[in-house]
Amino acid sequence: MFTVEMYKGSKEEQYSLLHKQLKALLEGEDNAIANLSNASALLNQFLQETNWVGFYLRENDGLVLGPFQGLPACVRIPFGKGVCGTSAAENRTLRVEDVHAFPGHIACDAASQSEIVVPIVKDGEVVGVLDIDSPIKNRFDETDQQELEKFVEILQEFI
């Protein structure tokens, strides 16, 4: 049975516990949608000062909305468009301090001020992205980026 422990200690220690919880949550399950759903719920419970946590999955030449926590969102994003589409097209994490300054930003939620997007890669190909929005500018730092990239590395084993 999965149980949520309280997050204490340094930011790195909190993320370490999050990673352990993710592994416990996904162990033994091979359904990608179920695993992405639980991963988004876990992140939503863990992260403070966020207003959207979820996944976009590759479909043809773009991304389609996957499991998420938050307000209704944009359904389709072409590769190279917005933060998610750019992250997927370039296969790199994008940490955006101010989404309104990002060229071609797609405003799904007017409350979003900053964003981090981490590509999900299987067999050398981007299969989706983890997308997290915050209503606070410059919400995500280098530690968040490194730890969320580790989160996605764990997740990639189970999707």
Q: Where are the domains of the chain?
A: 11-156
Q: Domain spanning 11-156: which superfamily?
A: GAF domain (3.30.450.40)
Residue 142 has pLDDT above 50, yes or no: yes
Name the average pLDDT for the chain: 92
The pLDDT value recorded for residue 7 is 66
Predicted local confidence at residue 2, as pLDDT? 46
* 107/9: higher pLDDT: 9
**Whole-number Å distance between alpha carbons of 56 and 11:** 26
Instruction: Single out the residue of 121, 82, 84 nearest to residue 102, CA to CA.
Output: 82
Cα distance between residue 22 and residue 129, in whole Å:
17
Radius of gyration of the chain (CA): 15
- CA 41 to each of CA 25, 69, 89, 101: distance values in angstroms, whole numbers, following the listed order: 11, 6, 26, 29
Report the share of the chain in percent with pLDDT over 70: 96
pTM summary value: 0.93
